[in-house]
Amino acid sequence: MDTAIKFIAFDQLNSALDRISEQLDVWVPVASKDQKRVIQFAPYRPGMTLVLDHQTTLGPKQVVLPQVEALFRFDYRKSADEPSRQKVQLEDPHPPAPTLIFGARPCDVKGFLVLDQVFSAGPFVDGIYAARREQTLFATMVCGQQDSACFCSSVGSGPTDRTGSDLWITPIAAGYVVEALSDRAHPVMAWLQEAATELHVAAAGKVQEEAARQQVGNLAVDQCQQHFLQRFADTNYWQEVAGQCLSCGICTFVCPTCYCFSITDEMKDKHGERIRSWDSCMFFTYTLEASGHNPRPSRLERYRNRVGHKFSYFPEKYQGLIACCGCGRCIRNCPVSIDIRKAVQNLQGQNHACS
């Protein structure tokens, strides 16, 4: 099988994706039709215009953990032997198709490495997530478009972080140089027709060197677990960093590492579905108990929980892994400009250096 380094000229990108999408479900970054400023991953269709020179507004989280999905279907049936009783018949969802996420960024992939700890690393495995994850390949691009909200280098990643990716794409002047990073990538490499020349490979090397030199963000996260606990009861501090919060939940919906969800049963007659849908810990109702008691009734307590979850509780549980990939989406999209870096940096008694 021919799996040498490959090259895709700009004007050949769609025909390459046409060939791949005959074999796999392919998701690509595109601008939404109605709101051109929103870029998100969508199933590839021939002729689509990809947006590869800009971080997406929403990452590819929904490909593996959809915003709304049926976990299973159920039917209530009368028992022929005992008509006074009903039986419940369950139907599993369809098994996932092999899928390629084309044009993700290192921070997008890092987000899945966080989600994996919760859904598929055990001891409790979410079978639906694990099956989709197993079937999903990442063709990730070296990132050269950081903005002032990005801080991936501060949380253990960076523009050339290949961890978790299967193919590595480097944009050069004439197109894209593609390398295989895992055995699972070899069939995709074989569907790409043009081998990269020495000149292409050398140009890609320069792009990667330049990107690797970038230190993206200057947030110090050492000992943030302990500092968070010391700040926990400092209401003035949380008022200062999150007093403006509207509880809108946007920060959680755009976040590659947030995974709060809600479960509901939806029925018509005797048929129904158990639905999982994204939820947000920033909503008042998220922790509202049936008694009327709410352990996190105020916006400040909910924002504090969001910071603590990502920078204190999660690393404490998962061997120091911070549940933030530094993508900056929550910072860019918060309607009142709350900056999670400010909350974390000041936990540690340092001056906030971010605008």
Whether 151 and 117 have beta carbons less than 8 Å apart is answered as no
Q: How far is the CB of 153 from ligand SF4 (least distance, A)?
A: 12
Q: Which CB sits closer to ligand SF4, 6 or 310?
A: 310
Distances (CA, A) of 41 to 66, 199, 224, 307: 12, 31, 33, 27
Q: How far is the CB of 255 from ligand SF4 (least distance, A)?
A: 3
Query: In 3D, which of 213, 152, 158, 161 has the Cα closest to residue 341?
Result: 152
Q: Binding string, 313-332, against ligand SF4, x = CB under 6 A?
A: -----------xxxxxxx--
Q: How far is the CB of 290 from ligand SF4 (least distance, A)?
A: 24
Q: How far is the CB of 337 from ligand SF4 (least distance, A)?
A: 8
- Residue 300 in contact with ligand SF4, rule: CB under 6 A: no
Query: What distance in Å separates the CA atoms of residue 39 and residue 42, rounded to the nearest whole number?
Result: 9
Using DSSP's 3-state secondary structure scheme, residue 16 falls into helix
Q: Binding string, 228-267, against ligand SF4, x = CB under 6 A?
A: -----------------xxxxxxx--xxxx----------
N- to C-terminal Cα distance for the chain? Answer: 50
Whether 104 and 40 have beta carbons less than 8 Å apart is answered as no
Site for ligand SF4 in 42-81 (CB under 6 A): none
Query: What distance in Å separates the CA atoms of residue 174 and residue 328, rounded to the nearest whole number?
Result: 29
- Residue 137 in contact with ligand SF4, rule: CB under 6 A: no
Using DSSP's 3-state secondary structure scheme, residue 278 falls into strand
- Residue 224 in contact with ligand SF4, rule: CB under 6 A: no
Q: Which of 88, 121, 336, 353 binds ligand SF4 (CB under 6 A)?
A: 336
- Residue 338 in contact with ligand SF4, rule: CB under 6 A: yes
Q: Which CB sits closer to ligand SF4, 127 or 243?
A: 243
Whether 142 and 207 have beta carbons less than 8 Å apart is answered as yes
Whether 110 and 325 have beta carbons less than 8 Å apart is answered as yes
- Residue 39 in contact with ligand SF4, rule: CB under 6 A: no
Site of interaction with ligand SF4 (CB under 6 A) = 245-251, 254-257, 282, 303, 310, 324-330, 334-336, 338, 340
